[in-house]
Amino acid sequence: MNLGALGFLITDSAKIPFSLLVVFTSAKLMSEILERLDQPGIVGEILAGVLIGPSVLGWVAPSDFLSALADLGAMFLLFRVGLEVKYSELLKVSGAAAIVAALGVISTFGLVWAVLALWGAPPKETIFVAAALVATSVGITAQVLAAKNLLALAASRIILAAAVIDDVLGLIVLAIVSSVVRGRWNLLELLATTGLALGFTAIVAWWGPRAVGVMVPRLNEKLRAAEGQFILALILMFLFSVLAVYSGIAAIVGAFLAGMALAEHTDPHCRDLAQGVSDFLVPFFLAVIGLNVNLSVFSGASTLLLTLAVLCAVVFSKVLGCGLGAISLGRVDALRIGVGMIPRGEVCMAVARLGLTLGIIRQSMYSAVVFVTVAAAALAPPLLHLVFRDFRKPGVPKPEMYRLG
């Protein structure tokens, strides 16, 4: 951990609690400031990470410890969202969500590839960066929708379902691209990867709620430990997250599926406990996004222009592609869904890091991808705030009136 000018004042044993203090306090303080300006608080939490990070004040730098807290925060966020989503309601929008996800992935890959190819980037780097940026990270959107009590909307359900499908499609695209750039094509390996990811998601989404509905009530009757139901919920969340990683998709997808499996089998107290843990950890997830910003990417005009061009491609492609996939719902909901699919997250940065390690992506391009990822995450909340603004006006029906079915 880099503590900047304050480093000489902080002993080794105090570095972790100091980092916790600085990150959490600055995140909540910036969130309060943004809320008072009638802007989404989570933008303030991301900006707090930029402010205290290496690019500005240098008080705290990304570390394995903070990254672990951020990953845990993302898992709890998606788990909490899953608790509010019933499987039966998500199933009703699965067809529309599949179209939204597919068009979003295709349009993003195509547009980012076109921008980089026209810029003159090396072919292998071009397709690898395009593959890295296709996957939506639903954590940011989920936080905004949950804070506004909008998870009951049809558009919100489609965003959540599409993000899960998007993650699987992103994995398939990455597997294909990795084979191409490495110069070896293994169809059997590709089919196995695809089948495992699709199989895990389908089985858990379909069988999980039914199995949990049978097991949880019986176990609750036998457990004597305090908060037994919450303990069971955590075990299930961690189990599904581990299985998701081994199936090739993100841990947060497993956490979301675990929450969805428990949605109809948890009491309000268990949900309150999950909310409390989430309120503590999510600021670290958001602030660490900001900590990864490298403003030195703007030191050269050429890199600056390329970064902005890729950012525009990333935003526009999701709004257009995903919006077209949902156009049957009307232009307003199509726009909401397109905007909701804009954020990128840890998957993009992990794939970019892999490309850097393999020597496919240059350091300057890696920095640009990280900045685009962070910028897309920061842009989404105010845009969501704008497209869902009708639900903040007096006299507009509550979101519950728009429930599916």
| pLDDT tens column, 213-264 | 666 666 666 666 557 778 888 888 898 888 887 776 667 778 877 887 887 7
User: Is the pLDDT score of 306 beyond 80?
Assistant: yes
Does residue 255 contact residue 212 with C-beta atoms inside 8 Å?
no
**Least confident segment among 40-44, 189-193, 233-237, 377-381:** 189-193
Specify the pLDDT at position 403.
Answer: 37
**Least confident segment among 86-90, 99-103, 334-338:** 86-90
CATH 1.20.1630.10 is held by the domain 64-402: no
**Token representation of residue 124:** 């292998």
User: Is the pLDDT score of 327 beyond 60?
Assistant: yes
Q: Where are the domains of the chain?
A: 1-61, 64-402
Specify the pLDDT at position 29.
Answer: 92
Give the pLDDT band of residue 178 (cuts 50, 70, 90). low
User: Is the pLDDT score of 196 beyond 80?
Assistant: no
User: Is the pLDDT score of 346 beyond 70?
Assistant: no
Task: Pick the more confident residue, 405 or 245.
Answer: 245
- Mean pLDDT computed over 196-225: 66
Nearest Cα residue to 73 out of 21, 140, 16, 11 = 140
Sign of CA dihedral 165, 167, 173, 178: negative
Nearest Cα residue to 342 out of 319, 311, 313 = 319
| 86-89, Cβ contacts within 8 angstroms, sequence gap of 24 or more | 86/260, 86/263, 86/264, 87/205, 87/206, 87/208, 87/209, 87/260, 87/261, 87/263, 87/264, 88/405, 89/157, 89/403, 89/404, 89/405
DSSP H or E stretch at residue 96? helix 94-119
User: Is the pLDDT score of 24 beyond 70?
Assistant: yes
- Cα separation of 207 and 292, whole Å? 38
Specify the pLDDT at position 79.
Answer: 85
Does residue 265 contact residue 212 with C-beta atoms inside 8 Å?
yes
